[in-house]
Chains A and B, each alone.
Chain A
């Protein structure tokens, strides 16, 4: 077991605002690492940096021994990091199945022109007739429990299920590391339990996970370790129970000044 992902003194400035400040941490192979912190602590920014949505101002990111600091989002994904979004970013006019299939296209690293060629000269690549891809996509939909919606337009699916669809889509890229940005936001208690099960099932298959979560029940239950961000800085790290009782963390959540307690 070694670190699959390491960040070294990662910093991101937006104009005068430092959203992520000097954050170093590593994520062990096979681990579920929880990332918590009050609103605006820089959690999503950190995930955006790792996934290549934008480059950091300072610091480096290493994935499986390779420097991915400056890699773009699509490259980062092909290296083995997939992500979901805080507010779902599914393909709303495609069906659930097509959403997952879309994630499998560039697995073959072909590029557009070779796909154009395929569309004329290789009948098997007409999506609905590609049995192998469809079978894989179907099994993923089944895995996250939404196979009932296979041919439904993603935009018409219930919100809770689009979050699952997004996870299925991310899994279709066969990631070694999955970044989950608040997978439980907007879910009711029953859906919450299902989501926890799902995340643990994914982890059990060997995928390392970095998860942002506000719902304490979820994050305490599934994380092997926790990292706490506050105003962009890492203020605590360690086992969930220990971090939860850390005075610094308690203060960050309840607010140092009294007005937050009212």
Chain B
């Protein structure tokens, strides 16, 4: 019971810190970074559900992100659907595409699946580039409407400034975190992990890997699409670049550095790398080279060589050593 109490306390403290951040730091640029870190946390958590917990290497995750963003933006601009519903509509449309990408995963694995998923995202990016009537091509959709204000009595909450949007993203991250933790801790999650560790072994105890793979691709895509919707109404610009491979590569790096197959890893990775990438951006202006990708690549190699379990693994080891010393 005391462990449970400590857990609840920890959550309350974390929540309080998250709520108070905008009051302490009023800088708009910092809040912008915080929003992006939140969006990437959702993306990385959802990618990790596939790669870390089910062992399916999906290198087309950015496609779901883009689909969610376009869906939510187009629905709001052309049908006037409330962006609040659009966020979930974006997730649902992405989930349909996730189900579609699940089918090749039934027959392919490892590098073959990885290449297929790259192709999938690349095709959809080209569709977004060329379907000018719907997407305005490479110009992208600009002027995506803001989230509509919420009125509670006399108080109206607008979502114009970064610090207001920040709370929406925090809620989105918590929603994703809740769902994914629930899934991983359930019979469903154990089944996924069994398949990851040994597919033939899983089949031998009556698990049908095909149906589980389709389900997990669908769920993972839903959250990526949801993150896409969050981005669309925040940046107010949706372009084919969202579906590009480098976005998936960012997600992959965040998950690997944070710790694959853990819950804390993707959060840690997404937040620290988003901050790092902003720091490097200012250096790029001085150095005039694309240093961000170089650093990402280097960090990825170092992670694979020296800390397979990522930052989470390092923290665990240090914690164990501190405890052992006492």
Question: What residues make up the interface of A, taking CB atoms closer than 8 Å to B?
Answer: 51, 53, 72-75, 77-78, 82-83, 85, 89-94, 98-99, 101-103, 105-107, 111-113, 115-116, 118-120, 125-128, 130, 169-170, 172-173
Contact assessment for A116 and B200 in the assembled complex, using a CB-CB cutoff below 8 Å = no
Contact assessment for B197 and A72 in the assembled complex, using a CB-CB cutoff below 8 Å = no
A106 and B207 contact, Cβ closer than 8 Å, known pairs A94-B197, A125-B187, A127-B190: yes
Question: What residues make up the interface of B, taking CB atoms closer than 8 Å to A?
Answer: 179, 182-183, 185-191, 193-194, 196-198, 200-209, 211-212, 214-216, 219, 261
* B221: min CB distance to chain A, Å: 14
Contact assessment for B208 and A74 in the assembled complex, using a CB-CB cutoff below 8 Å = yes
CB-CB nearest in chain A for B204: A83
Return chain B residues, CB-CB under 8 Å to A173.
205-206
Return chain A residues, CB-CB under 8 Å to B183.
116, 119
Return chain B residues, CB-CB under 8 Å to A90.
197-198, 201
Contact assessment for A77 and B188 in the assembled complex, using a CB-CB cutoff below 8 Å = no
Return chain B residues, CB-CB under 8 Å to A119.
182-183, 185-189
12 A–B pairs (Cβ distance < 8 Å), ordered by A: A73-B204, A74-B209, A99-B194, A102-B194, A102-B205, A112-B214, A118-B188, A120-B179, A127-B187, A130-B187, A170-B205, A173-B206
Chain A contact residues: helix, strand, loop or mixed: helix
Contact assessment for B197 and A116 in the assembled complex, using a CB-CB cutoff below 8 Å = no
* B192: min CB distance to chain A, Å: 9
Contact of B211 among A92, A112, A120, A169 (CB under 8 A): A112
A111 and B211 contact, Cβ closer than 8 Å, known pairs A93-B261, A102-B205: yes
Return chain B residues, CB-CB under 8 Å to A91.
193-194, 197-198, 201-202
* A194: min CB distance to chain B, Å: 23
CB-CB nearest in chain A for B185: A126
Contact assessment for A82 and B205 in the assembled complex, using a CB-CB cutoff below 8 Å = yes
CB-CB nearest in chain B for A133: B187
* A165: min CB distance to chain B, Å: 11
